[in-house]
Amino acid sequence: MRIVGRIVLWEGGSLWAFDVPPARDRAQTTRLHAHHAIQLTFSAGGSFAICTENGHTEGPAVLIAPDVPHAFEPEGRIALIFVEPESQAGQVLMQRMAGAPVTRLDAPFLEDTPTRLSGIWADPRPDDGVIAALGQVVLEKAVGKALPPRPLDPRIVRALDWLAPRLGGHVSLPEAAAVACLSDSRFSHLFAAQVGLPFRTYLLWRRLMLAVDRTAAGSSLTAAAHEAGFADSAHLSRTFRRMFGIPAASLHLM
């Protein structure tokens, strides 16, 4: 599947917008995959279905919990918003899902969401700042009014802040544990409980997001892989396919 679109990242989230041409003989379907982020999927004039072991859920707006294996059947203009679960918006969305793997969103804010998102394809082409602001507005409407999120443990916050500028280099669990002033075992347990992923899996996810950001900025897959701390472009491609169900090389960014 060749996908043409835009990817814009901001702290704690990102917006991916694609215009997927109709398939000639069957629906376009990604491989079964799972990723750390919460995924909000919106129709921006197109249509889609989310497929899990429990069946199909169709749009116009669907929320997918972190680490839920799913396949994606898109056609036409689609927008995905990925939200880090440990972010404030992510914690509120997790509360809203109440343990459900997939939730169809039916709310008044959806009435103008496709029109808003269609602006991504406007002429002249909007810049990344405009698209990021649009994504954040749609996310805020999806979050709505909810219970206040549970704050992360300050020791984990300290480790996450320390990790962010070091994603492209060598990072070890003992170093992160030392920043949090915890033993390795205690840090591993607390990190997984707070963030929802083991430290090394989370590190891989954040490196993948950094590579996506570099690719969206114009870097080649090879350069993006090295900048994000992957051994090579093959390592990046395997990780991308496992987490998103499509080859990284299939993305053609506008």
Q: What CATH number has the domain bearing residue 214?
A: 1.10.10.60
Burial zone of 24 (CB within 10 Å; 0-12 exposed, 13-18 middle, 19+ buried):
exposed
Q: What CATH number has the domain bearing residue 11?
A: 2.60.120.10
| Bigger pLDDT: 125 vs 41 | 41
Same domain, 18 and 124: yes
Same domain, 202 and 239: yes
**Residues in contact with 206: Cβ distance below 8 Å, sequence separation at least 6, in sequence order:** 163, 164, 167
pLDDT digits (tens, 9 = 90+) for 38-52: 999 999 888 899 999
pLDDT digits (tens, 9 = 90+) for 174-223: 999 999 999 999 999 999 888 877 898 889 888 988 888 888 788 888 99
Helices 184-195, 154-163: inter-axial angle, 10-degree rounding? 90
Same domain, 102 and 170: no
Same domain, 64 and 43: yes
pTM of the entire predicted model:
0.80
Same domain, 70 and 123: yes
Number of independent structural domains in the chain: 2
Please give the mean pLDDT across all residues of the chain. 85
**Residues in contact with 67: Cβ distance below 8 Å, sequence separation at least 6, in sequence order:** 34, 35, 36, 196, 197
Confidence category of residue 55, pLDDT binned at 50, 70, 90: confident
Rg (CA), the chain: 18
253 occurs within a structural domain: no
252 occurs within a structural domain: no
Domain boundaries, position 53:
3-143
Same domain, 18 and 97: yes
Q: Which stretch of DSSP H or E encloses residue 31?
A: none
Paired strand residues for 8: 15
